[in-house]
Structure 1
């Protein structure tokens, strides 16, 4: 039968107390973290994470609304569709969706995804066009009732054959 550890006598343990300077530094650190968290929650966005809101988890879909999902695809000269998300280019969908306003203003940035794909897949057919496609699923009582897709942004790749 294993032996049980003997209980520690609280009277025999020495209590170490923080110095006044140590208490002040811990209080200051606590105030800074709380100020960053409150300020980030009030005026921040996803780029402020971890002190700002992470909007992906801040709400829920309306059971009688719509759910949007965005993907990036490339096309070869032969018309084959190539997925340009996830491990294909080293960029996750959530990271990409956060850049949509920037890409809408500068669609030529999509060429960087074609280049990243070419760098990661040197033996693959080159991508000649990149599209950002949004899939919208309509919901009624939380159940999908229809799906539509539309191209949000499109860019031909310069120098592609």
Structure 2
């Protein structure tokens, strides 16, 4: 015996046609989504994803433009650099870089990184300054040239700020 369809349902293989209202709703929804994608593509930013372009994947950098790497370092009284990223302070790089405009505006926030470092490393030498350093690596045809330069974007003197 073959299963029979319920009386109010069509048998398998029968075509069920949408009513006019259903077609209009689907067409309107499709039009809205396509309009959002088009507007996001033309005027959007990463914040508009998924309706805007995710620029990390949708653009290409010039192969002769230097690559910039952001570092956060603490300086000891002897001038030694201590890395303040990742597991050292409990903050991921992307989280930190997302806060850079705020940190540039309020450098005293770098003191929080020094406090976190001191809590996680109680026996470590005390820090006297925290810096955000932009390291630019030179490229030619997409290959590193071996040259680089460091620029301090923002710094905070822990002795003066405490």
Q: TM-score range by the shorter chain?
A: 0.5 to 0.7
Please tell me whether residue 89 in structure 1 is matched to residue 90 in structure 2: yes
The 1:34–1:74 alpha-carbon spacing in structure 2 relative to 1, beyond 3 Å, is farther
> Which aligned pairs between 1:9-158 and structure 2 lie closer than 5 A?
12-75=12-75, 79=80, 81-85=82-86, 88-93=89-94, 95-114=95-114, 121=120, 125=124, 129-145=129-145, 146-157=147-158, 158=161
Aligned residues: CA RMSD:
3.2
* TM-score w.r.t. length of structure 1: 0.67
Tell me the CA shift for residue 49 of structure 1.
2.0
* 1:74–1:131 CA contact under 8 A, matched in 2: yes
Query: Secondary structure in 1 aligned to 2:39?
Result: helix
* 2:63–2:141 CA contact under 8 A, matched in 1: yes
Which of 1 and 2 has greater Rg?
2
* Unmatched tracts of structure 1, length 5 or more: 1-10
Query: Secondary structure in 2 aligned to 1:24?
Result: helix
Tell me the CA shift for residue 34 of structure 1.
2.0
Structure 1 runs of 4+ with >6 Å offset = none
String of CA shifts for 1:88-133, please: whole Å, max 9, x gaps: 434333x4334433332232333444456567x3757576533211
* 2:64–2:141 CA contact under 8 A, matched in 1: yes
- Residue-pair matches, total: 147
* TM-score w.r.t. length of structure 2: 0.66
Distance in structure 1 (CA, Å) of the matches to 2:17 and 2:67? 55
Distance in structure 1 (CA, Å) of the matches to 2:148 and 2:98? 23
Distance in structure 1 (CA, Å) of the matches to 2:16 and 2:84? 59
